[in-house]
Amino acid sequence: MNKKNFKLSILLLFLSLWLLSFHTCSLKKSKNDGTITLRQAIGNIVNPRLKVGAIIGVILKNQRHVFAYGTKERNGNEAPDSNTVFEIGSNTKTFTAIMLADMHLKGIVNLEDNAQKYLPADKVTLPVSNGTKITLLHLATHTSGIPSMPDNVEENQTNPADPFSTYTVDNMYEFLDNCTLDFPVGTQHKYSNAGMGLLGLILALANGTSYEELLFQRMLTPLGMNNTSLFLTAAQGQNLATGYDGDLNPVSTWTATDCLQGAGFIKST
């Protein structure tokens, strides 16, 4: 296996293990009553931590299982179901990284490509450390050194309830053009929303579309994910589970533009 394919395999393995971690609850034999049911096994994990509601989907031995716990909103009576729409947050990053892998395999981009290659040189120059340039792989693996969040979000904010809705690509370019890396490129790992947002933007630019069009073209339509999107339809809005902050206060649905969509704004059943 050559170096490039090895790196791609490691990236895909990481993504697969990350996804599998959500449904690897132990289905062990009980000394008393045989195999513990799937619902019981999941409930043992979910219920002690449940604040409002949750729905778990598992494919086991080619059979689909969907289990609901709690309610769609705090102090409500309606349980979530397979049509309930959730803001999936940073799980969006997995979609972005999978599209990177797909576009690499199809020869549209390369994991080792200099990220600057896809950006307008007259608008932004990405930081370089000791001659090492930020690659697409650095962005996907959170090793670019780009800070977690742009430091100019608040000054470009018009609606605190939807804080990223008016943060533009040009705002992102301004941040990147002036940012100081948290560490030299490729030397450490540190979670970066800005880095993954940039990766989503770059993939959209390489594809000649918006990030939303990229998402539908390369993942949602081919996989038949008809209840997944960046922006809610009327029907999805009616089935949306209420979101909450860390103090369990209800919050508005968040949106973003192309420069941050790849980091955390997908809604899905």
Q: Which of 4-13, 180-189, 205-214, 231-240 bottoms out in mean pLDDT, i.e. has the lowest?
A: 4-13
| pLDDT beyond 90 at 267 | yes
Q: Specify the pLDDT at position 64.
A: 85
| pLDDT beyond 80 at 26 | no
Q: What angle do CA 197, 203, 207 make, to 5 degrees?
A: 145
Q: Specify the pLDDT at position 128.
A: 97
Domains and CATH numbers, the chain: 17-82 (no CATH), 88-268 (3.40.710.10)
Greater confidence (46 vs 111) lies with 111
Q: Specify the pLDDT at position 226.
A: 94
What is the percentage of the chain residues whose pLDDT exceeds 70? 87
Q: Which of 183-192, 199-208, 216-225, 226-235 bottoms out in mean pLDDT, i.e. has the lowest?
A: 226-235
Work out the average pLDDT over 85-102: 98
| pLDDT beyond 80 at 192 | yes
Work out the average pLDDT over 153-163: 96
> What are the pLDDT digits (tens) for 221-260?
999 999 999 999 998 999 999 999 999 999 999 999 999 9
pLDDT band at residue 10, thresholds of 50, 70 and 90?
very low
Taking the model in full, what pTM does it have? Answer: 0.84
Q: Specify the pLDDT at position 205.
A: 99
For the four alpha carbons of 105, 108, 114 and 118, in that order, the dihedral sign comes to negative
| pLDDT beyond 80 at 214 | yes
Q: Which of 68-72, 90-94, 217-221 bottoms out in mean pLDDT, i.e. has the lowest?
A: 68-72
**C-alpha gyration radius of the chain:** 20
Work out the average pLDDT over 83-100: 97
Q: Specify the pLDDT at position 50.
A: 92
Q: What is the spatial distance between Cα 42 and Cα 23, in angstroms, rounded to a whole number?
A: 8
Q: Specify the pLDDT at position 36.
A: 56
| pLDDT beyond 70 at 21 | no
Q: Which of 16-20, 74-78, 110-114, 179-183 bottoms out in mean pLDDT, i.e. has the lowest?
A: 16-20
| pLDDT beyond 70 at 191 | yes
| pLDDT beyond 90 at 23 | no
Q: Specify the pLDDT at position 265.
A: 98
